[in-house]
Structure 1
């Protein structure tokens, strides 16, 4: 009886809070967080119900059997879609590294993405291809760089790999890519992630060769040795150590609650850095209403709003006065862009938050919604911008021989932002 009352009470709630991913849930075997939360609810209900029964032991055993049956069924459905995330021993700083299995022995599907205006891109990628000579690899490159890659391989006397180059098409190849190698800065990674909107990212070997490289783990000078270390680790341990980065998902809903479309494409995007709502070319400020977990948060007048991940906290959000957030602190920051009221300050919210924004009835014109600067949608009157954490994380391969995660982050932060440089001279 108590179970039915509890279930009715849960259904009657106006807002069902999206479960925050705890450390144990982030490391659960199949990363199936919904299943974890449902299991917790079932266990709580069974314990509550047991107070009214005298057969506690038998009921507890039955609940365990039911949960094992559900878990087995759910895992069979999800194991082919979501990577196992294995937690190994902690870093010296206390953070837990994420390790994903990589047990492919046959052919590897590798995507190469680089800055075409950089003359070093093609020679470096030519050497990268050479490092995988012992594997049966297919290398995917975008159409506009395919011929240049082939010419470079011939120039470097690696013509045997020319036939292994294939034109990349995100619609056909998104689901089969095993590893991504990027050469550039953070912008190159953001551009690459725009092609992976329907799945978690394949492990990214990010080589630094750009203006900013907060996310890049490898330096162009040592890339041959580093790739050999990666391949050796895969050979010995059958896994890859990665830095796990959250994304946020935006979808624009019409007045009927459906995902709106623009030129036949759904207004939906998974962003690694930030979602930005701004006034675009309009001269007038935007008047917006903001809702947090279906409750009114505030009304604002200004140039726009920035919803940022920890990864994006050092990008546009930082320039607009937002806080710097360490990658392990999974959260969503809300930063106003030139607000009319100076009392509206940046807010940091837990990753389980659900945010909605809509233009007020007296707003002039329309706005723009962009994801990582890669996708831009029109925001029309009556539409609602829905923002929450994404289930499609990004995995950046990290250097396994570095043992202190926070120290590494601090060193990179001080280097990139050039902190207190005038005082140290």
Structure 2
């Protein structure tokens, strides 16, 4: 009887047992049922008490052992090291990536287009690396202006180190990216790195919005000195890892569709947008989550955003602000016909599919970060999931907490609640 009773006790939740007891109480002997319930409660109390005593004794033994090690060891940093390994493994701490190329770096320089200040700053950057055997890659439209600036700054010896960048030939060999601009410059740069995890990006703020930029143009000389010293001493770089999402447009046979000979696929850092383009009619779409129909919608489109992109187009469309370490995909409708369709935040393991319904009028557009735009035709399926090609943004080593930096940026860039705090 005791064995059967114990199995019943731990197999079902307490509330379920209470309801069963109340129901049986009306049809069976009340006293016998009450006695059984009291015995169950007593057994559970004894078990929980014994379990707590064992846990307390185990914790006390661990504390005694740590105290003994601290007393016998001459190295006072041994205890914090143990705590750091066990307690700080979450994404709130910046990632450390190895960087062992000390003497020869392949550096990509990309600046904000049509900004005359770009070339003097990059000339200063090239001077910073004069003790290293570096190759500097610049885009074709900037190559001539870079050479003129080096001549003007009397850095003629570096002209031979300039290489015209071509993503098809140089994507895999770049070691470091230096961008001068805002978030748009970073998104443009990532359009060149669609087949690999991005090299570390040193993002210098010089744009309208610099939410992802970690360095200021005013302190760039001192900051580059710190970066070089850190690499030379530790052979690593502290970075913030940002997730991307991958979109593929599949035809009726399940193959990746092509447009002008180019496959319709893209790895986006901010968002994937499905909209009606120049089509006058709203889009009628069906959304699938993990191969199950989630809903059908009518509206101007959908935004699938990363945490990085949650403060961009998604935010303007009414989406939530998501902290960078909350690796997720948000689904935000654009002007939906039904006001009951609200933004959804999904885990990064989600697989999303979208297709136009049979009664949809016209075609749609699919864009990634505003850099690539594809036509969405009838019968095609948009497949969206998290990408395995992350983006690494270099951080200042003395600012070790991602959440703190994110809060500072949020309040600064969005002017958050400023009217109430004055």
Q: Give the TM-score taking structure 2 as reference length.
A: 0.79
Residues in 2 aligned to 1:409 and 1:272: alpha-carbon distance in whole angstroms: 17
For residues 97-128 of structure 1, what are the alpha-carbon distances to aligned partners after superposition, in whole Å with 9 as ceiling and x for unaligned?
A: 21100001342100000013112100000000
What's the counterpart of residue 312 of structure 1?
A: 309
Q: Secondary structure at the match of 2:247?
A: strand
The aligned runs of 1:217-228 (5 Å cut-off) are 217-228=214-225
**2:328 is equivalent to residue 331 of structure 1:** yes
Q: Following the alignment from structure 1 to structure 2, what is the Cα–Cα distance between the partners of residues 210 and 88?
A: 38
On the 8 A contact 1:291/1:298 being kept in 2, the answer is: yes
Shift of residue 250, structure 1, vs aligned partner: 0.1
Q: Is 1:321 matched with 2:332?
A: no
- Provide structure 2 residue ranges, at least 5 long, that are not aligned to the other structure: 1-83
2:130 aligns to what SS in structure 1?
coil
| 1:195 partnered with 2:192 | yes
Question: Partner of 2:120: helix, strand, or coil?
Answer: helix
Change (3 A) 1:89 1:164: farther
Which is helix-richer, 1 or 2? 2
What is the CA distance between 1:194 and its match in structure 2? 0.1
- Name the CA distance, whole Å, in 1 between partners of 2:404 and 2:99: 27
| Distance in 2 of aligned mates of 1:92 and 1:255 | 44
Which residue is 1:138 aligned to? 135
Determine if the alignment matches structure 1 residue 105 to structure 2 residue 89.
no
Map Cα deviations across residues 292-331 of structure 1 (whole Å, 9 max, x no partner).
0000000000000000000000000000000000000000
Distance 1:326 1:388, change over 3 A: same
The aligned counterpart of 2:203 is 206
Partner of 2:238: 241
Q: Hey, what's the Cα distance between the residues in 2 that align with 1:229 and 1:247?
A: 29
Aligned to 1:12: none
- Which residue of the other structure, out of 285, 307, 322, is the alignment partner of 1:288? 285
Find the partner of 1:398 among 395, 400, 407: 395
Q: Which of 176, 180, 204 is matched with 2:177 structurally? A: 180
The alpha-carbon deviation at position 156 of structure 1 amounts to 0.8
Separation (CA, whole Å) in 1 of partners of 2:85 and 2:218: 29
* Alpha-carbon contact 1:267-1:377 (below 8 Å) kept: yes
- Cα deviation per residue 1:259-284 (whole Å; 9 max; x = unaligned)? 00000000000000000000000110
SS in 1 for 2:293: strand
Contact 2:310–2:322 (CA under 8 A) maintained in structure 1: yes
Question: In the alignment, does 2:161 pair up with 1:170?
Answer: no
Give the C-alpha shift of residue 408 in structure 1.
1.3
Q: 1:344 maps to which residue?
A: 341
1:7-45 CA-partner distances (Å, limit 9, x unpaired):
xxxxxxxxxxxxxxxxxxxxxxxxxxxxxxxxxxxxxxx
SS in 2 for 1:307: strand
* Whole-angstrom CA distance in 1 between matches of 2:284 and 2:418: 40
Q: Structure 1: 5+ residue runs without aligned partners? A: 1-86
Moved >6 Å (runs of 4+): 87-94
Query: Cα deviation per residue 1:186-208 (whole Å; 9 max; x = unaligned)?
Result: 00000000000000000000000
CA contact (8 A) 1:290 1:299 kept: yes
Is residue 2:420 matched to residue 1:411? no
What is the distance in 1 between the residues matched to 2:234 and 2:348?
Answer: 32
Structure 1 position 96, deviation (Å): 2.5
How large is the RMSD of aligned CA atoms in angstroms? 1.5
1:386 corresponds, among 383, 386, 395, to 383
Name 1:59's counterpart in structure 2. Answer: none
Q: Is the 8 A contact 1:93 1:405 kept in 2?
A: no
**Per-residue deviation at 1:94?**
8.0
Q: Which is worse superposed, 102-111 or 209-218?
A: 102-111
**Among 261, 265, 273, the residue aligned to 2:262:** 265
1:89 offset after TM fit, Å?
8.8
In 1: Cα distance, 2:314 partner to 2:160 partner: 44
CA distance in 1, matches of 2:212, 2:194: 19
